[in-house]
Amino acid sequence: MKPIDSERLHEECGVMAVVNHPEAPRLTTLGLAALQHRGQESAGLAVADGHVVHSHRAMGYVSDALTDEVVRGLKGHLAIGHVRYSTTGSSNLRNAQPIHVTYKRGSLAIAHNGNLVNAQTLRREMENEGSIFNTTNDSEVILHLVARSRQETIDRALAEALRQVEGAFSLLVINPDTVMVARDPRGFRPLCLGKLDGAWVAASETCALDMIGARYERQVDPGEMVVLHADGRMDSYRWADEQPASMCIFEYVYFSRPDSTIYGRSVDQVRRRMGEALGREAPADADVVIGVPDSSNTASLGYSRVTGIRWELGLIRNHYVGRTFIRPSQEVRDFSVRKKYNPVRHVLQGKRVVVVDDSIVRGTTMRKLVKIIRQAGATEVHLRISSPPITHSCYYGIDTPIRRELIASSHTVPEIAAYLQVDSLAYLSIEGLMSSVQATEGFCRACFTGEYPIAPSGVGKDVFESETAPQTPSS
Ligand code: SF4
């Protein structure tokens, strides 16, 4: 069940927690619904009442997996939740999160956004020592490490476990009376804190706080452990030495919702600046600017503002094609794209059109979309991409195809333009991207540059030059 087209990179998870609130399970579920864009394969909740942790996970959207009846049955004032998009192919409930286990000190559940680059090595070592794993999910490694720890408190045991893993993780861990919120030392994936009526809230994006009326407090710092107690107390400390930040810049390009604040910056504002920078770098002689909805609308507004070319809604996205999709019995040409986008003919007819999109992965969907725009009457199509060419796979929790399937890994910009059959093609430069986030460093940009902040352990650096992404299943 992969409802989104293969022309996008995909975020793999969203996490949400509400601590010390009588409606914690319901509020967490609402927050997960706001994070649905980060994962549609499965959803789950783990709830604690001071004595025990209960959990429920199911395949499907939040509204399918966490029905009213299910949520009513989970009693407690602490809750963590998770939405997942999987890289592991077929739907698999075993890998849904939160992963809930019972060990010598009671019950424990984890919700993880990111990808551990040394999970395979650690898992192999533990299996050789007799450990049994229930899932093929890298997050389970963390639970095993916590269970083995001799630290006296659960948060110190978690910190000890986290010092043994490498990679990207923004995670939530719940036991009967505590929720721990932790972020990896480089801060690959976002995680923020908010407050609601004296309760603490943690979420991947601030749009989840908005959904439940919570007030944004701050982001969880890279390498920080926040311990939220059932009685409302909050402790915070650094569990890891400081490291150079590697926040995922693709959150601004595509993953995060424009109404969110990520890494302390408004996604909408950054995305508009990307469009403006693109307009300055690659203006076009054209009549209208359109964005590929919904993710590129914001950048296309920025492009229009700088170039003075009129902005129009030229493509309408169908949000309701859903997961249970019935193919027509008769082959409809370019159906995979038509089911998602429909052109507004009178906007495009006889016009020279600038199409702004956030990225090109394989190029197959864009090629069909260009054809549909031409069939709607556009006389010229000038494609502008509000990020640099994606030339490398991601190893930090984003579902990217193997490298050879990325069109920009093996084709020049003119070659890609010829394949897409556009009149002109331009990408935003790395400098333009960095100026849009108003920083010179602190971000991971490896899918654009191949400069990976952390190499997977157990394999040489040259793994990144191979055409096969590591097989560690991601959370
Ligand atoms: S490689 Fe790209 S998608 Fe992956 S974390 Fe880095 S910037 Fe984000």
Distance 171 CA to ligand 1 centre (A): 18
Please choose from 183, 428, 443, 444 the residue to mutate so as to test ligand 1's pocket, defined by most ligand atoms within 8 A of CB.
444
Q: Which DSSP string do the residues of 293-352 spell out, in sequence order? A: TTTTHHHHHHHHHHH-PEE---EEE-TT--SSPPPPSSPPTTHHHHTTEEE-HHHHTT-E
For Cα atoms 39, 292, 345, give the angle at the middle one, nearest 5 degrees: 135
Any ligand 1 atom below 6 A from CB of 445: yes
What pLDDT, on the 0 to 100 scale, is given for residue 5?
46
| Residue 447: active-site member | no
Q: Residues with Cβ < 8 Å from 400, sequence gap 6 or more?
A: 9, 361, 390, 393, 394, 406, 447, 469
Evaluate the CA torsion angle 237, 242, 245, 246 in order and state its sign: negative
Any ligand 1 atom below 6 A from CB of 252: no
Distance 430 CA to ligand 1 centre (A): 14
Side chain identity at residue 288, one-letter code:
V
Distance 453 CA to ligand 1 centre (A): 10
Instruction: Give the DSSP letter of residue 124.
Output: H
Residue 441 three-state SS: coil
What pLDDT, on the 0 to 100 scale, is given for residue 471?
35
What's the pTM value of the predicted model, to 2 decimals? 0.91
Distance 451 CA to ligand 1 centre (A): 10
In the sheet that holds 42-48, the strands lie side by side as: 53-59, 42-48, 78-84, 13-19, 199-203, 192-196, 215-219
Distance 137 CA to ligand 1 centre (A): 20
**Residue whose structure tokens are 């199911």:** 58
Atom 8, ligand 1: residue with shortest CA distance = 248
- Which ligand 1 atom sits closest to the C-alpha of 251? 8
Any ligand 1 atom below 6 A from CB of 274: no
Longest CA span, the chain:
72
What is the Cα–Cα distance from 221 to 200, expressed in whole angstroms? 16
- Cα–chain-centroid distance for residue 94? 21
- Which ligand 1 atom sits closest to the C-alpha of 453? 6
Any ligand 1 atom below 6 A from CB of 446: yes
CB atoms within 10 A of CB 95: 23
What is the Cα–Cα distance from 44 to 50, expressed in whole angstroms? 20
CB atoms within 10 A of CB 430: 15
What pLDDT, on the 0 to 100 scale, is given for residue 333?
64
Distance 188 CA to ligand 1 centre (A): 8
Q: Which DSSP string do the residues of 388-415 spell out, in sequence order? A: ----S---SSEE---GGGSGGGT--HHH
What is the Cα–Cα distance from 208 to 30, expressed in whole angstroms? 8
pLDDT in tens, the chain (475 residues): 333 345 666 657 999 999 999 999 999 999 999 999 999 999 999 999 999 999 999 999 999 999 999 999 999 999 999 999 865 434 578 889 999 999 998 999 999 999 899 988 999 999 999 999 988 888 899 999 999 999 999 999 999 999 999 999 999 999 999 999 999 999 999 999 999 999 999 999 999 999 999 999 999 999 999 999 988 899 999 999 999 999 999 999 999 999 999 999 999 999 999 999 999 999 999 999 999 998 899 999 999 999 999 999 999 998 776 544 455 555 566 677 888 899 999 999 999 999 999 999 999 999 999 999 999 999 999 999 999 999 999 989 887 778 888 999 999 999 999 999 999 999 999 999 999 999 999 999 999 999 999 975 543 333 333 333 333 333 4
Q: Please, what are the domains in the chain?
A: 10-246 (3.60.20.10), 262-452 (3.40.50.2020)
- Which ligand 1 atom sits closest to the C-alpha of 249? 7
**40 CB-contact burial (10 Å; exposed 0-12 / middle 13-18 / buried 19+):** buried
Helix or strand (DSSP H, E) at 128: helix 119-128
What pLDDT, on the 0 to 100 scale, is given for residue 473?
34
Asked if 339 contacts 274 with a C-beta cutoff of 8 angstroms, the reply is: no
What pLDDT, on the 0 to 100 scale, is given for residue 135?
86
Comparing CA positions, the residue from 299, 318, 217 lying closest to residue 258 is 299
Any ligand 1 atom below 6 A from CB of 262: no
Evaluate the CA torsion angle 219, 262, 155, 212 in order and state its sign: positive
Atom 4, ligand 1: residue with shortest CA distance = 394
Any ligand 1 atom below 6 A from CB of 188: yes
Query: Left (φ > 0), alpha (ψ -120 to 50) or beta: where does 438 sit?
Result: left
Atom 6, ligand 1: residue with shortest CA distance = 444
Please choose from 85, 183, 249, 464 the residue to mutate so as to test ligand 1's pocket, defined by most ligand atoms within 8 A of CB.
249
Any ligand 1 atom below 6 A from CB of 250: yes
Distance 355 CA to ligand 1 centre (A): 24
Phi, psi of 54 (to 5 degrees): -115, 155
